[in-house]
Structure 1
Amino acid sequence: MPSFDAFAADRLSWLLRYATALTCDPYLAQDIVQEVMLRAQSRWSRISALDAPDHYVKRMVTNEYLSWRRRRAARDVTSAHSTLEAISPPVRDPAHQHAERDAMRACIATLPRKQRAAIVLRYYEDNTDEEIAGVLGCSAGTVRSHISRALSTLRAAAPGFAVTEAYR
């Protein structure tokens, strides 16, 4: 059974990357991971006894992101991004691939929370429908529905992108 300090040292950057992909906001991601790690530390004796404590903590991060306490912050991120675009139009980045990825992340930021989580878990984390269902607490069919709707929305918003590849 690894200590919490060893777990945190090994998995913190992975959790921050995952949370940043979910939230599309590195500062909100830091807040979420910080809160989850504080709760995980206080419950570490139970969590470390599980077969896959990292999956449990990942689910904690996902649940914190999806929780009602974060809804306003997520809306603020999306509206702030929209406001910035209205003030100054996006400038063409000389690195075309980075510009496409940024545009795709902006489109992903507009998705409903569960659809965004399903997309991130599928294309960023390479999880199966069953694994995503376990993290989101729903059926595999619901996961497929979330992903299908999200991809339809992304294709409509960004018809020139290869939707499943630009985010990676």
Structure 2
Amino acid sequence: MDLAPKRLESQDMSTLKSTAESRLKNFMQEVTGRALVMMESATQGQQGIAMDLVQEAFISLHKSYSDKSTEEWYPLFYTILNNKLQDWRRKEARRAQPFSFFKKVQLDEDDNELENIVDESTPSPLEFLNQALTADEIQGAISSLPHRQQQAFMLRAWEGFDTHTTAQIMNCSEGSVKTHYHRAIQGLRSALAHLNPYTGGSSE
């Protein structure tokens, strides 16, 4: 019996697995820092929880989508990460309110869409702020935003996703993304105005 075909097939599978793991390692190195910043803001600075959520998202990505291209991984990863975060937030809400299982857990109260919002451009986080602001000041302002506004801002301004992709990741309409992003920009400008001389505040 000729076992060569099976041996070759086994070698091919091993090569594909090695390639996928190598790609995932490079992908993780590229996005881990930004993903952690996003999760730390969403969990109010709980670094351990943020790390767990990011790691779980990577594990799920590798387990279910190792055959996808690296470009496809970006929205898939953030969709998985968003789902992990939502699950964690639901558990936290139920833990805080022991009898909340009798009613629907309301995680966000700013989902009402504003009418006639023009889709804004996606500046870098510093582009509309004073360049002298520190990363800590900006991250602190982001952390003070409602969760969905944080998501919309981080996905669009930090990750550079368009409105359509952001809506898919957040599992909401494009109108909601525009609303959350618009409110996030307004909230950040307001929160940091006293540090930004270009908006009439003072950095002293």
Fold shared by both chains (TM-score > 0.5) = yes
Q: Distance in 1 between matches of 2:68 and 2:184?
A: 36
Given candidates 55, 64, 83, the residue that maps to 2:75 is 55
Q: Distance in 2 between matches of 1:101 and 1:10?
A: 25
CA distance 1:70–1:4, shift in 2 (3 Å) = farther
Quote the RMSD (CA, aligned, Å). 2.9
Q: Distance in 2 between matches of 1:29 and 1:19?
A: 9
Structure 1 match to 2:142: 108
Given candidates 143, 148, 161, the residue that maps to 2:182 is 148
1:31 Cα offset (Å): 1.0
Q: Distance in 1 between matches of 2:52 and 2:168?
A: 23
Q: Higher helix fraction: Structure 1 or Structure 2?
A: 1
1:6 equivalenced with 2:22 (yes/no): yes
Aligned residues, how many?
138
Given candidates 147, 157, 160, the residue that maps to 1:126 is 160
Structure 2 match to 1:40: 61
Residue identity matched to 1:59? T
| Bigger radius of gyration among the two | 2
Unaligned runs of 5+ in 1: 74-95, 164-168
For structure 1, which segment, 17-26 or 147-156, has the greater mean C-alpha deviation from structure 2 after superposition?
17-26
> 8 Å contact 2:75–2:165 — kept in the other structure?
no
Q: Distance in 1 between matches of 2:190 and 2:73?
A: 38
CA distance 1:70–1:5, shift in 2 (3 Å) = farther
Q: Distance in 2 between matches of 1:121 and 1:62?
A: 11
Residue identity matched to 2:88? R
1:29 Cα offset (Å): 3.0
The percentage of counterpart residues that share the same residue type is 22
1:143 Cα offset (Å): 0.6
CA distance 1:12–1:70, shift in 2 (3 Å) = farther
Structure 1 match to 2:87: 68
TM-score, with normalisation over the residues of structure 2?
0.57
Cα shift readout 1:111-168 (whole Å, capped 9, x = no counterpart)? 11111010001111122111211211112111110011112222222214379xxxxx
**SS of match in other structure, 2:161:** coil
Q: Distance in 2 between matches of 1:97 and 1:151?
A: 16
Higher relative contact order (CA 8 A, sep 6+): 1
CA distance 1:134–1:30, shift in 2 (3 Å) = same
1:98 Cα offset (Å): 7.0
